[in-house]
A and B are shown apart, each in its own frame.
Chain A
Amino acid sequence: MEKNIILAGVGGQGILSVAYVLDNAALDAGYHFKQAEVHGMSQRGGAVQSNLRYADHPIHSDLIPRGEADLILAVEPLEVMRYWHYLKPEGWVVSSAIPYVNIPDYPEMEKLLGELSAFPNIILVDSARLARAAGNMRSQNMVVIGAASILLDFTPEQLLKHVEGLFARKGEKIVAVNRKAFELGRRAAEFFRSLVTSGIDNGQALQLSSALVPESLDALQAPGWADTLKARPEVLEEIAAAGEKVSAGDFARFRA
């Protein structure tokens, strides 16, 4: 067993916090691990990545070779592009769909999300909306790790234990916010994947899961939404018009 994960984002988005949680979960599970990270100049708003590897055997390189990553976990969608060639052909991408625009030549969002959505093994989440629902926009990194948790070798509790450890110093409230961000991220990812396995494409799955009340997302409701969406694609616009008040359980209301 060997798992190679590229963590990607922009300096200040909390990539090293994601690494901390995964490192400790890997350690608890008794795996060997190496985790290379970026310090110094790049942390000032530049592209930041970390290579995290864990295995049941000793690991040689601190860096993941091209085509050997099992997962790219990105807190920012453009950053997926930067490391995509590291992904195994059968590897997965879990990414925030929310751009961090601090450069003048940031690509057109529609095109970027289009390219990401065309990749079958991807989970996209509206990390900003979920983090806001959790209580703090800075918790987007925990939303993404929650979303990725459905693919990882650890139970949510094994990961959450270290989310708590990470924020314990900052008080109970911050711990609760980050726990919630993780849980909302996980549920959004389950909902997203359930839509896709029910025949909805990645782009629409992102749109729908971004439009519903974050706390209401429930994978069990996804097949119902998939049927509704297939019958009436205009439902996405209707939900958008209704604002944030539509819950995952409301799909029947939009059927006809």
Chain B
Amino acid sequence: MKSFPKSGLFQARMTADDGGAVVSQYLGVDMSQEVLLGDEAIGLGAIDAGISGVYAYPGTPSTEIFEFVDRRTKKAGDVHAFWSTNEKVAYEEALGMSWAGRRALVCMKHVGLNVAADAFMNSAVTGTNGGLVLAVADDPGMHSSQNEQDSRYYAQFALIPCLEPKDQQECYEMMFEAFQLSEDLQVPVMIRLVTRIAHSRSAVTTRERRPQNPLRPAKDIHKWTLLPSNARVQYAHLAGKQPEFLRLSEESSHNELKLRGKRGVITCGITENYLLENLPEDHEFSMLSLRQYPIPTEKVRKLVDHVEEILVVEDGYPLVESSLRGLFGLDGVRVRGRLSGELPRTGELNPDLVRQGLGLGERSSAHDPSEEIAKRPPMLCKGCPHDDSFKALTAALSEFEEPQVFSDIGCYTLAALPPLEAIHSCVAMGASIGMAAGAAHAGYHPAVCAIGDSTFAHGGIPPLLSAVQQNIAITVLVLDNDTVGMTGTQRSMATGSTLDRIIEGSGVDPEHIRIIEPLPRKHEENVQVFREELHYKGPSVIIARRPCIEAIKHGVH
């Protein structure tokens, strides 16, 4: 075959200057095709579903959603797109847009939802006005994350519907449905992605863009004011909607049940592809493909009644598997999956692991290298300012016995690896400062922490305020490289003079706010600055200021 499906009327093209997005030339009908990452398909789906705003904090593998919407709507300027300080702020801004009657997309990585959880959980109780969709990208296998938590639990926790696309086309389509569901049901709706769909490209057929909503602020004040008396009413209201959510799941075309033989498989989202990759078309497995939650109990019941065993394939936590298994298992049906050991308990799934789970033999390959292959971990770029900052810090710390440095999340986390091995913790956005304070409370000295400018803006300000109020002896190194480096040089909210003024405003003694330029030729004087501040018995901040070389190279900001 040499012509595209849909009769060759399409000519899709990725344009290099649109970062892989596409300009389509379509002849005649209101439909066209683009080559998109899963993330970009989410972004375009949201634009075409009529959003008025997109909100996000950068985080792999979700970053490209916001970036696509921003890039695509910049010229027309008809969609609000500006990075938020953190995920909670992003979520609240999106909720405000919804309150005003317009549609909003808010996107983040899975651990970002922990930050936004307060607003997220309560927004299910308030409910929405304009459509509100949360696109959250999980990272099974932790390609670029601290854990592999499964956001479907959050949807279940908040009692809201969740959609889980299996491919790029569904990423696009589901945005229309998600906004419709949100407006019909008056709750936020979650779209759950995994890395492998977020960062994979394919051709996507698009449709006509829907008009945006007019400004139509919410009028039902009690609903939005979660005083206990109102919140009880709202929570009961949310609980009362659950049968409707379940009915929609049962009727959803995304939850496909195909009864065949006595062996059953339940797939969730992308894992349907890993299953089908291993099966001939005329296979004998009974299949339930789940892509809309809550779990459709009737469809699951039909499968359970039909088969003798069920393999549950989830790229994430065993949410469906543990629901199915309950505390004591299912009578007469063996449930297999991550909990039973047929699939690995942790990590990302792939076609090979699913093949193993099905009990099929390993495919033969051309060559198995005889020895273990040298790993090639990521590292700081040549000439990176962080390199000079940590060299100076490490030199200054050498007078102490086995000094440890609390650190945070960003490119500088790579300083944990050889050759620098200069930092000794990485837990959560902003955690370095609070942990250093706690260690200082315990009598640890010197309590040193290192945090980037954007991470400081995101989550570092509250713990610094606390430390200053307590006048605790901590040394905070703020690595101000003027950008969010790790995710691709996005805008930082607190860099340069803005950062300086925030730190001054927090109450740190101006004599102990030191600014250094991390350069090899300034090594000695920088070491001296660190030495002085390490001996100070109060909160001090050293700002290491030099722009990210990647950002300079790409001419951003």
Chain A residues closer than 8 Å to B4, beta-carbon distance: 30
| Binary A-proximity of B149-176 (CB < 8 A = 1, otherwise 0) | 0000000000000000001100000000
B109 to chain A, nearest CB (A): 10
Tell me whether B20 and A36 are in contact (CB under 8 A).
no
CA distance A165 to B3 in the complex (A): 22
Q: A33-B202, A38-B143, A61-B274 are in contact. Are A87 and B376 (CB under 8 A)?
A: no
Interface residues of A in 123-168 (CB under 8 A from B): 165-168
Interface pair A34/B378, CB less than 8 Å apart: no
Pairwise interchain contact A34-B201, C-beta atoms closer than 8 A: yes
State whether A34 touches B202 (Cβ < 8 A).
yes
| Chain A neighbourhood of B352, CB < 8 A | 65-66
Q: Are B200 and A40 in contact (CB under 8 A)?
A: no
Q: How far is the CB of B314 from chain A (nearest CB, A)?
A: 16
Segment of B332-340, B364-372, B466-474 in the binding face: B364-372
Q: Does B14 contact A (CB under 8 A)?
A: yes
Q: CA–CA, A248 to B494, complex, Å?
A: 60
Among B12, B61, B273, B486, point to the contact of A62 (Cβ < 8 A). B273
Q: Is the CB of A87 within 8 A of B365?
A: yes
CB-CB under 8 A from B374, the residues of chain A are 78, 103, 105-107
Q: Are B486 and A32 within 8 A (Cβ)? A: no
Interface flags, A73-88, vs B, CB<8A=1, else 0:
0000011011011111
- Contact assessment for B273 and A68 in the assembled complex, using a CB-CB cutoff below 8 Å: no
Interface residues of B in 1-46 (CB under 8 A from A): 1-5, 8, 12-17, 20, 35
Q: Which residues of A contact B1 (CB under 8 A)?
A: 30-31, 56
Q: Which of B8, B13, B143, B379 contacts A30 (CB 8 A)?
A: B8
State whether B12 touches A27 (Cβ < 8 A): yes
Contact status B365-A46, CB under 8 Å: no
B65 at the interface (CB under 8 A from A): no
Judging by beta carbons under 8 Å apart, are B203 and A33 in contact?
yes
Whether A245 sits at the interface, judged by CB under 8 Å, is: no
**Cβ of B276 and Cβ of A60 under 8 Å apart?**
yes
The total of interchain contacts (Cβ-Cβ below 8 angstroms) comes to 177
**Contact across chains for B273 and A29 when beta carbons are under 8 A apart:** no
In the assembly, what is the distance between CA of A191 and CA of B426, in Å? 51
Cα A33 to Cα B274 in complex, Å, equals: 16
Cα–Cα, bound, A41→B369 (Å)? 26
Given A20-B20, A165-B16, decide whether A40 and B487 contact each other with a Cβ distance below 8 A: yes
Contact residues of B between 48 and 67, Cβ < 8 Å to A: 60-61, 63-64
Residues of chain A at interface, number, CB under 8 A: 64
Chain B residues, Cβ within 8 Å of A166: 16
Does B373 belong to the interface (CB within 8 Å)? yes
A65 in contact with B351 (CB, 8 Å): yes
Assign chain B's interface to a size class: 35 or more
Q: A10-B376, A103-B375, A169-B16 are in contact. Are A45 and B381 (CB under 8 A)?
A: yes
- CB of A87 within 8 A of CB of B381, answer no
CB A234 to nearest CB in B, in angstroms, measures 32
* B316 → A minimal CB distance (Å): 16
Q: Is the CB of A62 within 8 A of B35?
A: no
The reply to whether A44 and B366 form a contact with Cβ atoms under 8 Å apart is no
On whether the beta carbons of A46 and B369 are closer than 8 Å, the reply is no
- List the A side residues contacting B364 at CB < 8 Å: 67, 89
In the assembled complex, the CB of B254 is this many whole angstroms from the nearest CB of chain A, namely 17
Quick check: A46 and B379 within 8 Å, CB to CB?
A: yes
Chain B: interface secondary structure? loop
From B17, B144, B277, B278, give the contact of A40 (CB < 8 A): B144
- A194: which B residues are within 8 A, CB to CB? none
**CB–CB A115/B369 < 8 A:** yes
Q: Across the two chains, which residue of chain A brings its CB closest to B411?
A: A44
Our pick among B199, B366, B379 for the contact of A45 (Cβ within 8 Å) is: B379
Does B380 touch A at the CB level, under 8 Å? yes
Whether A29 and B2, one on each chain, are in contact in the complex, defined by CB atoms closer than 8 angstroms, is: yes
In the complex, the answer to whether B367 meets A62 with C-beta atoms within 8 Å is no
- The reply to whether A169 and B64 contact each other, CB–CB distance below 8 Å, is no
Docked Cα-Cα span, A68 to B350, in Å, equals 13
Q: Which residue of A lies closest to B59 (CB)?
A: A40
A115 to B379 CA separation, bound complex (whole angstroms): 27
A184 to chain B minimum Cβ distance, whole angstroms, is: 22
- Does B124 interact with chain A (Cβ within 8 Å)? no
B486 close to A40 (CB less than 8 A): yes
Q: Closest residue to A34 on the B side, CB-wise?
A: B202
Contacts of A47 in B (CB 8 A): 375-376
Bound Cα distance from A54 to B373, whole angstroms: 29
- Nearest A residue to B202, CB-CB: A34
Name B270's closest neighbour in chain A (CB-CB).
Answer: A62
Complex Cα distance, B365 from A89, in Å, reads: 5
Q: Are A65 and B277 in contact (CB under 8 A)?
A: yes
Most chain B CB within 10 A, of A38, A56, A66, A86, is at: A66
Interface centre among B16, B143, B376, B377 (most CB of A within 10 A): B376
Minimum Cβ distance to chain B for residue A83 (Å): 10
**Interface: B263 (CB within 8 A):** no
B197 at the interface (CB under 8 A from A): yes
B61 x A102 contact (CB < 8 A):
no
Query: 8 Å CB contacts to B: which residues of A87-137?
Result: 87-91, 102-107, 115, 119, 121
B490, chain A: closest CB distance, angstroms? 13
B17, B365, B377, most chain A CB atoms within 10 A = B365
Q: Are A81 and B369 in contact (CB under 8 A)?
A: yes
CB of B16 within 8 A of CB of A65, answer no
Tell whether, in the assembled complex, residue B373 and residue A61 are in contact, meaning their CB atoms are under 8 Å apart: no
Could you jot down 11 A-B contacts, CB within 8 Å? A23-B14, A24-B13, A31-B1, A34-B202, A61-B274, A61-B350, A66-B352, A68-B363, A89-B365, A90-B366, A105-B374
Interface contacts beyond A41-B60, A45-B379: sample of 19 additional A-B pairs, CB < 8 Å, sorted by A: A23-B35, A30-B3, A30-B8, A40-B144, A40-B486, A41-B486, A44-B378, A46-B379, A60-B272, A61-B273, A61-B277, A62-B196, A63-B350, A65-B355, A67-B365, A67-B366, A102-B376, A103-B374, A165-B16
Which residue numbers of A lie inside 8 Å of B, CB to CB?
10-11, 16, 19-20, 23-24, 27, 29-47, 56, 59-68, 78-79, 81-82, 84-91, 102-107, 115, 119, 121, 165-169
Q: Give the 8 A-B CB pairs with smallest separation, nearest first.
A: A40-B60, A67-B363, A46-B378, A40-B144, A67-B365, A87-B366, A36-B200, A44-B378
